[in-house]
Amino acid sequence: MKATQKLHDIGQSIWLDNLTRGLLASGKLREYIDEFSVTGLTSNPTIFDHAIRNGHDYDGAICQKLQQGKAGEELFFELAIEDLREAADLFRPIHIRTNCEDGWVSLEVSPLLARNADGTLAAAKALHARAGRPNLFIKIPGTSAGLRAIEEAIFAGVPINVTLLFSVAQYLAAAEAYLRGIERRIAAGLNPNVRSVASLFVSRWDVAVKDKVPERLRNKLGIAVACEVYEKYRALVDSARWQRILSAGAHSQRLLWASTGAKDPNTSQLLYVQALAKPFTVNTMPELTLKALAAHDEFGDALHGDADAMLSEFAKVDIDTDRLASKLLGEGVESFRKSWRDLLTCIASKAKRLKAA
């Protein structure tokens, strides 16, 4: 039995952190579903950028949309929604079989809206309606403006993937936004079964401190923070407040591990997969990590160490995790914005070349 199947069997969902037209057309995504226990996926602008810049899978569609007068963000969203609809349809049987718990795909709003709550909410509603698939999450970052939009989007019935979370405080704020949205639906007599995941970014912690900590602490901060968040997550799900919304017909917002490909070439590609093999969570894996996991029969045991003790070791070497979490969120927003602008530049450049041809 592949390690991917074993991970699935303990109660963790494996989602692919990748989506391109080539992945769909080649049948590779279907193969990952059938052979590697993949039950969902996420997409991001950088992946689309590379596929458009370095290949020809999108050339025909871009030409067609240019003839229709489409350009920029409008053109990109049409390409992305076409891909996500096809992927969502592949995952639809899983979505139905798991009673909407799994089988999701994700599309993010423009990162340029990260500080604009009203704009984010309007975009989330429009994109979800435009895609027309029940198993599509809209990704919204956990900024202060994003959190306001998340509550309103959940209240409006839009499934949300809360992205760019790094710390316990940020996770709890995202969970609070979700809870408020669901509680408002219950109070208004609306169906509270609106799904959500909260995406905690893991490896970026270790990249941020790699030159600031002794060897014995390298590649351990992301796991320590994730374990601390997992403890809070399970405690929150068990709380009276959460049990009340479950009794009313809602479902828990699941915790999702993002950025789980190991960035240190000197460590195992499965570092974060092994450490975070926790039930009732999701792990979004880059393709390289997924293949590495599938090549194994075992993935090892999840870590059960004392997260507080480990975090105290980082405090002793002057790593302020609260301040660093805020910094990582800010950097994440700027990184997403840069990737978005790069993508739009790439599309404009490709469109110019195709017109000339």
Catalytic amino acids?
139
In whole angstroms, what is the distance from residue 174 CA to residue 162 CA? 7
Which tokens sit at 190? 């609306």
Q: Give me the phi and psi of 308, to 5 degrees please.
A: -60, -40
Which tokens sit at 115? 């500080």
- Please give the DSSP secondary-structure letter assigned to residue 113: G
- Please give the DSSP secondary-structure letter assigned to residue 217: G
Quick one: which H or E segment has residue 333? helix 321-356
Contact 280, 13 (CB under 8 A): no
Beta bridge partners of 139: 108, 161
- Please give the DSSP secondary-structure letter assigned to residue 143: S
In whole angstroms, what is the distance from residue 289 CA to residue 135 CA? 24
In whole angstroms, what is the distance from residue 111 CA to residue 139 CA? 10
In single-letter form, the type of residue at position 57 comes to D
Quick one: which H or E segment has residue 115? none
Contact 337, 141 (CB under 8 A): no
In single-letter form, the type of residue at position 241 comes to R
